[in-house]
Amino acid sequence: MEQTTQKLAETVSGAGEDEAALLEALCGAAIRRWQGRLRAGVTVEDCGTAFHCAAAFTAAADLLSGGGDSAASFTAGQVSVKSRTAADSAAQAASLRRAAEELMAPYTVPGDFAFLGVRG
Q: What is the DSSP string of 1-70?
A: -HHHHHHHHHHHHT--GGGHHHHHHHHHHHHHHHHHHBPTT--HHHHTHHHHHHHHHHHHHHHHHT----
**Type of residue numbered 101:** E
For 41-80, the pLDDT digits (tens) are 999 999 999 999 999 999 999 998 875 444 455 566 667 6
Would you say residue 118 lies in a domain? no
Task: Domain of residue 76: give its range.
Answer: 2-104
For 9-45, the pLDDT digits (tens) are 999 988 888 898 999 999 999 999 999 999 999 999 9
pLDDT at residue 71, as a whole number? 43
**The pLDDT of residue 113 is above 90:** no
Report the C-alpha dihedral over residues 38, 39, 44, 48, rounded to 10 degrees.
-110
pTM of the predicted protein model: 0.77
Would you say residue 115 lies in a domain? no
